[in-house]
């Protein structure tokens, strides 16, 4: 049961290879997967929803505007439910729609709304497959982190011979099993996340509004892309992402100690935590009583975790910083990039409502020495995937 407890959405589009899908579903279930089928209108011309419902044991979803399903926002529910989305067969039309970010049916809407990895099994006439626009669409999807499974070569239903056949059902199942199987990490990522707490006395501390959601989303996305991830986390109310090594800390000094110990054994370091710049110079042993109208707390500077990692002379990882600003975002971000000798920095304006601290959404602008890139407002999970892809591009150039 190599796929035990794995949740897979199988998207079926309008190609003759749709006849192979009941076998895909059956074999995935044999491996222990829970499979939900989503069909386009075109796919129902080749195979019936009743057949897929019978083999999957679950209702088939086929309409974006189904009142029963949409009462619970069915398309969003499936997008969040999936551990993996497989589109097989994937027609040239569906590939183009996904690449363009369209959401004109249930399947493309799920693809746009999900943070789960997506695998596409192309199936089309060989001339359609080799058309420059199709090749551009496939290359674009692959660059954005989607998995392209196939196509195969051989005789096609139209009589042509060439590349464009969907790979066989068992091949898709084998690739799915391999996708979830433990592998040697492609890269090692160290990331800090969440706030720090700087004690004043045994019951009071100084902290900030960071929820840790962005850092945890990055850790999850990187792990899904094949990374071995170490997450050094301040106090948050978040579950540890699957297969991520989490190290809990409270104060900035503790985070500094753990991060510096881990950094030399990792390829990439992302400083996503909202670390307190200052801490009280003296921590009272007992609770400070409310005796006076005023209270003075003397603060001292905390160690600069990101600058110290970036200053390593041996085994220095590729260093990515975060800049949470409320004004003059580019000026402050570029200043931090140069001052701390970083490779890349991700900046966001936390004064904008609906993004940043304690929000489920965010928007980032990436800066490096000779360029910038805007990553527009999206869920933190979706944004994390885009960010990891961009970091890997710069890391591979650097390496």
pLDDT digits (tens, 9 = 90+) for 268-319: 999 999 999 999 999 999 998 887 778 888 999 999 999 999 999 999 999 9
- Of 3.40.640.10, 3.30.70.270, 3.40.50.170, 3.40.50.10300, which CATH number belongs to 187-398? 3.40.50.10300
Task: Please state whether beta strands 152-155 and 227-233 pair in parallel, antiparallel, or not at all (unpaired).
Answer: unpaired
The residues that are catalytic are 158
Residues 6+ apart with CB under 8 A from 8: 28, 33, 34, 35, 36, 82, 83, 84, 85, 86, 176
* CATH dotted code for 7-180: 3.40.50.1950
Do 89 and 46 contact (CB within 8 A), yes or no?
A: no
- Domain definitions of the chain by residue range: 7-180, 187-398
pLDDT of residue 69: 57
pLDDT of residue 356: 62
Residues 6+ apart with CB under 8 A from 98: 87, 108, 111, 112, 118, 120, 141, 146
The helix (H) or strand (E) run that includes residue 391 is helix 380-398
- The pTM score is 0.67
Mapped onto helix, strand or coil, the DSSP state of residue 210 is coil
The helix (H) or strand (E) run that includes residue 278 is strand 278-280
Q: Do the two domains 7-180 and 187-398 of this chain adopt the same fold?
A: yes
Task: Please state whether beta strands 344-349 and 318-325 pair in parallel, antiparallel, or not at all (unpaired).
Answer: parallel
Q: pLDDT of 38-92, one tens digit each?
A: 999 999 999 999 999 999 999 999 887 666 655 455 567 899 999 999 999 999 9
- Mean pLDDT score across all residues of the chain: 91
For 24-145, list the strands marked E by DSSP. 34-39, 84-90, 118-122
User: What is d(CA 223, CA 243) in angstroms, rounded to the nearest whole number?
Assistant: 7
pLDDT of residue 335: 94
Q: pLDDT of 326-359, one tens digit each?
A: 888 899 999 999 999 999 999 988 778 766 666 7
């Amino acid at each position: 049961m190599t796929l035990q407890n794995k949740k897979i959405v199988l998207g079926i589009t309008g190609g003759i290879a749709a006849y192979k899908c009941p076998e895909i579903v059956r074999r995935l279930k044999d491996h222990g997967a829970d499979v939900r089928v989503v069909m386009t209108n075109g796919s129902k011309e080749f195979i019936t929803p009743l057949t897929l419902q019978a083999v999957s044991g679950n209702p088939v979803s086929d309409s974006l505007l189904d009142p029963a399903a949409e009462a619970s926002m069915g398309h969003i529910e499936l997008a969040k439910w999936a551990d993996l989305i497989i589109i097989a067969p994937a027609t040239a039309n569906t590939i183009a729609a996904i690449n363009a970010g369209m959401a004109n049916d249930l399947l493309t809407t799920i693809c746009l709304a999900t943070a789960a990895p997506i695998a596409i099994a192309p199936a089309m006439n060989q001339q359609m497959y080799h058309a420059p626009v199709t090749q551009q669409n496939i290359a674009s999807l692959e660059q954005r982190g989607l998995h392209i499974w196939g196509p195969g070569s051989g005789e096609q239903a139209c009589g042509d011979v060439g590349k464009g056949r969907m790979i066989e059902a068992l091949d898709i199942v084998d690739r799915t099993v391999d996708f979830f199987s433990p592998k040697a990490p492609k890269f090692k990522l160290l990331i800090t996340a969440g706030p720090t707490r700087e004690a004043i006395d045994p019951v009071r501390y100084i902290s900030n509004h960071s929820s840790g959601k962005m850092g945890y989303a990055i850790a999850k996305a990187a792990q899904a892309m094949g990374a071995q991830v170490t997450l050094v986390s301040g106090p948050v109310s978040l579950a540890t992402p699957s297969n991520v090594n989490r190290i809990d800390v409270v104060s900035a000094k503790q985070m500094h100690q753990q991060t510096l110990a881990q950094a030399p054994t990792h390829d990439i370091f992302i400083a996503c935590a909202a670390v307190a710049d200052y801490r009280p110079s003296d921590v009272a042993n007992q609770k400070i009583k409310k005796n006076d109208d005023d209270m003075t707390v003397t603060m001292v500077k905390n160690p600069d975790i990101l600058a110290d990692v970036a200053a390593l002379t041996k085994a220095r990882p590729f260093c990515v910083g975060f800049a949470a600003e409320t004004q003059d975002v580019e000026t402050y971000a570029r200043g931090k990039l140069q001052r701390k000798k970083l490779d890349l920095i991700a900046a966001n304006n936390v004064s904008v409502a609906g993004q940043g601290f304690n929000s489920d959404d965010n928007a980032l602008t990436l800066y490096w020495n000779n360029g910038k890139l805007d990553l527009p407002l999206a869920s933190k999970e979706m944004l994390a995937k885009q960010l990891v892809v961009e970091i890997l591009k710069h890391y591979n150039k650097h390496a």
